[in-house]
Amino acid sequence: MLAATVARFMPPQESAHERLRAYLHQTRLLGSISSTLYYDQNTVMPAEGAPWRGEQLALLAGQLHERQTCDAYADLLAEAEAELAVAEQVASQTGAMPQQRRNLLLLREELDRERCVDPNLVSRLAKAQARGYACWQEARSSSEFERFAPALQELIQLRREQAAQLAAGAARGGADGAGAGRSCWETLAQRFEPGISKARLQELFDPLRRRLPELLAMVAERRGAPPPPWELAEAQQERLCHDLLIGWGWDGARCQRSRSPHPFSCTLGPGDFRITTRVVKGLPLSSFLATAHEWGHSLYEQGLPRSGDHWFPWPLGDATSMGVHESQSLFWECRVARSEAFARRWQPRFAEALGSDPWAREGRGSAHGFWRALNPLSPGLNRVEADELSYCLHIVLRWELEIALLEEDLPVAELPVRWNRRMGELLGRIPASDAEGCLQDVHWSEGLFGYFPSYALGHLISAQLAEAMEHEIGSIEQRVATGDEAELRRWLAGRVWPLGRSVDAEELVRQVSGRPLTAAPFLDHLEAKLERLLA
């Protein structure tokens, strides 16, 4: 009797959809708190703050993991799925609410993935990652691969176990069973590039593997002597970065700029974006190009859909893949800031910043000289410093080695030899030490396998989207020549950013460009650019 009375006076129950939204909203709050700590750590935190910061982050990671895997959440998601199924029946057709359907599908995939991994393995992995990172730092500073090898071996073993558990979970019937039949590497790469396969990457990378070394050889013959080293005062670099951003729509009320040891971009809230850069001695264009790059990431984040069933907090408003994210940063860095028109327009500003120092201005006194400075074209040992011409070969190298380690039983001890040999074949350079070679990247120290190809996909996607853009609004170079980059931004804001996670990377490219992703637009762009650059 009492229960009935109470029920009668209860407000109408919130829908499962609304409760799920509130739940996800809180998850996002926690995630963004963690990102804020990360940002602080990488910009201003004093060194001795590190151990405590580690504990803070671990506490939040634990809370986040719990929220994302607990039964209460699983029940809530199941309720929302059932509710949507009923609503769709009422609407008499499946797919009547495609956005909600897709949101729930993405959430279901993530939940199943999280829950099919043994918590014991998760904790062993976390420990192995911490150990791996520490060993890698030591090994790199002394260039002794053997100090890292055992930790790497352990990480490989644990990632294999993780992939096996994920594959078994998918076979038991993840959302659509699509995960069944994936190889170890493929399974691990799904986090970064949903739907990716080795066969597809083979198809995309083969033209790069064939053509890029030829282009490198051609360039080596024609590029002439390298320009003399030059330098730009820190305050001048800072001012140029600022001017660049102002011209590209930066708004201090939404985006904060800082310094950090490695440039990055992050989103700390629906109206709170951050980008960082660094000033590198001897690399006077580094902070400028990094600013262009990170601002490209941030523009994408700022342009993701934010209303209705989107961010914050639904997955539909997230970036769809690391490759697409990278395509947005590379567009602004390579297609715009490294373009001839851009060099022509900015050369006077750089000349002014250099002041009257004749030595420093040598070789950059002309627009063409400055364009050459923006595109060094000399293959180096280091991935991070590579330009458009050699970057993808660095990725191909890492991708091949990851598969060899994870799936083809390449002994860890042989990694340095294999690295150096393949580096010679692809880029014509052989590292003098492992620090310059297979120890240069942080990724493997934390067992991050499957991530690298996204960087190369970024180049390919950027080029294919740029081609589509030119098809619709005309020459990018001409827009840049007249300082009309706002038009480029408007196109991306209309055609690319609002897609969020409604489609995967391949489908995004297909929708926007009208055909499947290939390496052709990237190689065409590169060859045309090299022709003019070497003229």
Active site residues: 294
Cα 386 to Cα 392: distance, rounded to the nearest angstrom: 9
DSSP notation for 409-424: ---GGGHHHHHHHHHH
Residue among 32 and 165 whose Cβ is closer to a second copy:
32
Cβ 50 to a second copy, closest distance in Å?
Answer: 8
User: How far apart are alpha carbons 230 and 486 in whole angstroms?
Assistant: 31
Q: How far is the CB of 347 from a second copy (least distance, A)?
A: 29
Q: How far is the CB of 320 from a second copy (least distance, A)?
A: 23
CB 266 within 8 A of CB 285: no
Tell me the closest approach of the beta carbon of residue 452 to a second copy, in angstroms. 32
Q: How far is the CB of 252 from a second copy (least distance, A)?
A: 6
What are the structure tokens assigned to 54, written together? 């580690």
Distance CA(140)–CA(128), nearest Å, equals 17
Comparing CB distances to a second copy, the nearer of 268 and 534 is: 268
Q: 399 exposed, middle or buried (CB, 10 Å; 0-12, 13-18, 19+)?
A: buried
Strand partners, 266: 274
Locate 174 and state its tokens. Answer: 């993840």
List of residues 6+ apart from 259 with CB closer than 8 A: 43, 276, 277, 278, 279
Structure tokens at 460: 């390919």
Give the closest residue to 320 by CA, choosing from 455, 194, 200, 201.
194
Cβ nearer to a second copy, comparing 93 with 307: 307
* Residue (92 or 307) nearer to a second copy, CB: 307
Beta strands 272-277 and 255-259, pairing class: parallel
**Residues 189/199, Cβ–Cβ less than 8 Å:** no
Do 373 and 365 contact (CB within 8 A), yes or no?
no
Q: What tokens were used for 532?
A: 């003019």
Binding site for a second copy (CB under 8 A): 26, 29-30, 32-33, 36-37, 39-40, 43-53, 55-56, 59-60, 252-256, 258, 268-274, 312
Query: Which residues, in sequence order, are bridge partners of residue 275?
Result: 257, 265
Minimum distance of a second copy from residue 386's CB (angstroms): 31
**Residue 273 or residue 342: which is nearer to a second copy going by CB?**
273
Between 252 and 358, CB nearer to a second copy: 252
